[in-house]
C-alpha cells in the first residue's frame, strides 16, 4: 500500500517536507478511539497513536483536533515507546456538522474526502428539508454530493423514482441514484467515484444502510451487518465510531454512525446562497423589511399561494433566518470563551517564565 493509495498528493507532500526533516513519518488517521487513534502508514502498517500536547494546545476548538481522514506527522516511539501525533496537515476538504444540542462546537465527520455520499430511502427516512441541510454541509465541505435512494427493494419503482427526481430538483449538481444494498443493486455507480486515492464518506440517518453498502463494496471480509442482533434476530449492527477503509481495487471509504440530528454549521453566506431562489422572490416584496407574514405586497406569500414556491421550502427559509441569528449568538459566546482561555494560557505562560527567571537567578547569580 503506497501513500497515494491512501490519498496522499503533491500538496500534502510539500507541506510534509519540513516535518520529514524532523524524522517524523506521514500517516492517515483511520479510527478515533477517543483517547487514542488508529493510523495507517505507508506499506499498510496500522498503529495505535496518541495526540501530542502541542497539537492539543494549538487547537482553538474541537474541530481543529485530529479527526478520521486527517493526515498527520507521527513521531514513532522507539523501544516500545508511544507513537505521538506531532502535527496535523492542512485539510484539503472537511465535512463537518454542528454537534447536537445548543453547543456551537463543530464536529468533523470526515477530513480530506472528495465525495460525500448521502444515503436515504424513499420511505420514512425521505425528507427534502433534511436533504437540503445535507447539501449545505456538503457544499461547505467543498466535496461533491452524491445521493443514494437506498432500499429500493422495499418500494415500488415509481416511488423510488419520485424521490430521486425530487432530490435532483433540490440540487442540480448532485448525482442521485437508486440502490438496494441488500440486493447489491445499483452499487456499481459508486465504483465510478472510487478511484485510487479518492476518499468517500457515507452519511445519513441511522439504519438507512450505510454499513451494508460498505460491506457490499468491500466484499466478504467486512463483518458489521453479519453480526446478528440477539433480540430481533436481524443482521443489524449500529455503527458507533467512524472508520476509514481502503478498498483492494482502489478508493477509500469512511463509514459514519447515523446522524440523529443534522444541524447547521455553516457561514451565513453559504446559507443564503442555498436559498438564492427564495431570496430572489423576497427581493420583490413591496417592503424591504417584509416579514413575509401578513405584510402588504409580499411576493413570498403570493408565490406560495400560486404554487410557484413550495410551502416546505419557504418554511425552512424562515427557520434558517432564525437559525442564522441563533448561530451568531452562539459563535459570539464561543468567541468570548476562547478569548478567556487565551488570556488564561497567557497568564500561565507568564508565570512559568517568571518562575524560570527566578530559578536561573538562583543558579547563575553572576549573570544577573
Ligand atoms: N430491504 C433492505 N434492507 C436494507 C438495505 N440496506 C440495508 N438494509 C438493512 O437495514 C438495516 C440497517 O442497515 P445498516 O447498514 O446497519 O445501516 P446504517 O446506515 O449503517 O446504520 P447506523 O450504523 O446506525 O448509522 C440492516 O438490517 C440492513 O440489512 C436495502 O437496500 N434493502
Ligand atoms: Mg452503520
Ligand atoms: Zn415578503
Per-residue pLDDT of the chain (368 residues; tens, 9 = 90+): 899 999 999 999 999 999 999 999 999 999 988 778 999 999 999 999 999 988 988 888 788 899 999 999 999 987 678 899 999 999 999 998 765 554 556 778 899 999 999 999 998 888 887 898 899 889 888 999 999 999 999 999 999 999 999 999 999 999 999 999 999 999 889 989 999 999 999 998 888 999 889 888 887 555 444 444 444 444 445 676 778 999 888 999 998 876 654 444 456 666 666 677 788 888 899 998 888 888 899 999 999 899 888 777 787 777 777 777 776 776 676 666 666 666 666 666 666 667 667 766 777 666 66
Of all protein residues, the one whose alpha carbon is nearest to atom 26 of ligand 1 is: 236
Q: Measure 232 CA to ligand 1 centroid, in angstroms.
A: 14
CATH 3.40.50.300 intervals, the chain = 94-255
User: What φ, ψ does residue 145 adopt, rounded to 5°?
Assistant: -95, 130
User: What φ, ψ does residue 253 adopt, rounded to 5°?
Assistant: -120, 135
Indicate the top mutation candidate among 187, 212, 254 to test ligand 1's pocket, ranked by most ligand atoms within 8 A of CB.
Answer: 212
CA distance 321 to 309: 17
Atom of ligand 1 lying closest to residue 205 CA: 25
Q: How many residues does the chain have?
A: 368
**Which fold, 94-255?**
Rossmann fold (3.40.50)
Count Cβ neighbours within 10 Å for each residue of 36-59 and write b for 16 or more, e otherwise. Answer: bbbbbbbeeeebebbbbeebeeee
CATH 1.10.40.50 intervals, the chain = 267-368
Q: How is residue 115 written as a grid cell?
A: 465525495
Q: Measure 210 CA to ligand 1 centroid, in angstroms.
A: 6
pTM of the predicted protein model: 0.74
Atom of ligand 1 lying closest to residue 235 CA: 27
CA distance 300 to 293: 9
pLDDT value at residue 59: 85
Are 139 and 274 in contact by the 8 Å Cβ rule? The answer is: yes
Of all protein residues, the one whose alpha carbon is nearest to atom 25 of ligand 1 is: 258
pLDDT value at residue 215: 85
Which residue reads 496518541 in cell numbers? 50
Q: Measure 128 CA to ligand 1 centroid, in angstroms.
A: 20
CA distance 62 to 329: 19
pLDDT value at residue 251: 93
Q: Measure 318 CA to ligand 3 centroid, in angstroms.
A: 11
CATH 2.40.50.140 intervals, the chain = 4-88
Atom of ligand 1 lying closest to residue 179 CA: 31
Q: Measure 248 CA to ligand 1 centroid, in angstroms.
A: 23
Which residues have CB less than 5 Å away from ligand 2 (the ion)? 210-211, 239
Q: Measure 150 CA to ligand 2 centroid, in angstroms.
A: 14
CATH superfamily of 4-88: Nucleic acid-binding proteins (2.40.50.140)
Q: Which positions ≥6 away from 17 have C-beta within 8 Å?
A: none
Neighbours of 182 (CB within 10 A): 17
Of all protein residues, the one whose alpha carbon is nearest to atom 8 of ligand 1 is: 209
Q: How is residue 366 written as a grid cell?
A: 553572576
Q: Which positions ≥6 away from 288 have C-beta within 8 Å?
A: none
CA distance 14 to 254: 25
pLDDT value at residue 231: 45
Q: How is residue 46 written as a grid cell?
A: 496500522
Number of H-type helices and E-type strands within the chain: 10, 13
Indicate the top mutation candidate among 117, 118, 208, 217 to test ligand 1's pocket, ranked by most ligand atoms within 8 A of CB.
Answer: 208
CATH superfamily of 267-368: Probable gtpase engc; domain 3 (1.10.40.50)
Q: How is residue 83 written as a grid cell?
A: 507513537
Residues in the ligand 1 pocket, defined by CB under 6 Å: 150-151, 153-154, 180-182, 206-212, 225, 234-239, 257-258
Amino acid at each position: 500500500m503506497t501513500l497515494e493509495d491512501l490519498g496522499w498528493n503533491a500538496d500534502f507532500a510539500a507541506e510534509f517536507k519540513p516535518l520529514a526533516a524532523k524524522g517524523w513519518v506521514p500517516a492517515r488517521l483511520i479510527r478515533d478511539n477517543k483517547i487514542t487513534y488508529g493510523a495507517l502508514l505507508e506499506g499498510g502498517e496500522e498503529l495505535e497513536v496518541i495526540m501530542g500536547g502541542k497539537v492539543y494546545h494549538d487547537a482553538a476548538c474541537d474541530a481543529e483536533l485530529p479527526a478520521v481522514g486527517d493526515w498527520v506527522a507521527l513521531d514513532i516511539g522507539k523501544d516500545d515507546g508511544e507513537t505521538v501525533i506531532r502535527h496535523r496537515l492542512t485539510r484539503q476538504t472537511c465535512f463537518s456538522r454542528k454537534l447536537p444540542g445548543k453547543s456551537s462546537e463543530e464536529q468533523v465527520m470526515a477530513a480530506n474526502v472528495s465525495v460525500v455520499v448521502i444515503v436515504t430511502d424513499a420511505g420514512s427516512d425521505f425528507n427534502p428539508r433534511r436533504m437540503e441541510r445535507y447539501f449545505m454541509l456538503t457544499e461547505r465541505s467543498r466535496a461533491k454530493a452524491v445521493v443514494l435512494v437506498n432500499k429500493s427493494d422495499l418500494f415500488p419503482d415509481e416511488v423510488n423514482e419520485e424521490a430521486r427526481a425530487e432530490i435532483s430538483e433540490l440540487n442540480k449538481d448532485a448525482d442521485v441514484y437508486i440502490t438496494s444494498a441488500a440486493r447489491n443493486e445499483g452499487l456499481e455507480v459508486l465504483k465510478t467515484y472510487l478511484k485510487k486515492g479518492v476518499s468517500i464518506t457515507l452519511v445519513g440517518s441511522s439504519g438507512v444502510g450505510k454499513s451494508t453498502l460498505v460491506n457490499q463494496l468491500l466484499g466478504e471480509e467486512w463483518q458489521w451487518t453479519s453480526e446478528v442482533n440477539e433480540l430481533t434476530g436481524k443482521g443489524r449492527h449500529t455503527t458507533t465510531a467512524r472508520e476509514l477503509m481502503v478498498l483492494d481495487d482502489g478508493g477509500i471509504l469512511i463509514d459514519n454512525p447515523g446522524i440523529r440530528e443534522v444541524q447547521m454549521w455553516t457561514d451565513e453566506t453559504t446559507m443564503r446562497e442555498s436559498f438564492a431562489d427564495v431570496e430572489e422572490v423576497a427581493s420583490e416584496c413591496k417592503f424591504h423589511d417584509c416579514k413575509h407574514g401578513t405584510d402588504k405586497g409580499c411576493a413570498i406569500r403570493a408565490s406560495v399561494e400560486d404554487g410557484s414556491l413550495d410551502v416546505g421550502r419557504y418554511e425552512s427559509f424562515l427557520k434558517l433566518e432564525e437559525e442564522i441569528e441563533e448561530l451568531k449568538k452562539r459563535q459570539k459566546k464561543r468567541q468570548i470563551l476562547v478569548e478567556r482561555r487565551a488570556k488564561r494560557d497567557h497568564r500561565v505562560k507568564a508565570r512559568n517564565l517568571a518562575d524560570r527567571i527566578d530559578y536561573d537567578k538562583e543558579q547563575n547569580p553572576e549573570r544577573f
